[in-house]
Amino acid sequence: MLKIIHMTVNGNDVEVAIDPRESLLDTLRGRLGLTSVKKGCEVGECGACTVLVDGEAIDSCIYLTVWAEGRRIMTVEGLKGPNGELSPIQKAFIEEAAVQCGFCTPGLIMSAVEIVGTGKRYNRDELRKLISGHLCRCTGYENILNAMERIVEETYKVVGES
Neighbours of 107 (CB within 10 A): 29
The CATH number linked to 122 is: 1.10.150.120
The answer to whether position 25 is within a domain reads yes
The reply to whether 83 falls in a domain is: no
Alpha-carbon span 154 to 162, nearest angstrom: 13
Q: Are residues 93 and 72 in the same domain?
A: no
Residue 54 lies in a domain: yes
Q: How many domains does the chain fold into?
A: 2
CATH of the domain at 41: 3.10.20.30
Q: Determine the structural domain holding residue 134 and report its residue range.
A: 88-161
Tell me the pLDDT tens digit for each residue of 57-94. 999 999 999 999 999 999 999 999 999 999 999 999 99
pLDDT band at 159; cut points 50, 70, 90: low
Same-domain status, 46 and 112: no
Per cent of the chain over pLDDT 70 is: 97
Burial of 136 by CB count in 10 Å (0-12 exposed, 13-18 middle, 19+ buried)?
Answer: buried
Do both 40 and 66 map to the same domain? yes
DSSP strand pairing (72-74 vs 12-18): unpaired
Which distant-in-sequence residues (6+ apart) come within 8 Å of 124 by Cβ? 145, 149
- Output the pTM of the full model: 0.93
> pLDDT tens digit string along 113-128?
999 999 889 999 999 9
101 and 156 within one domain: yes
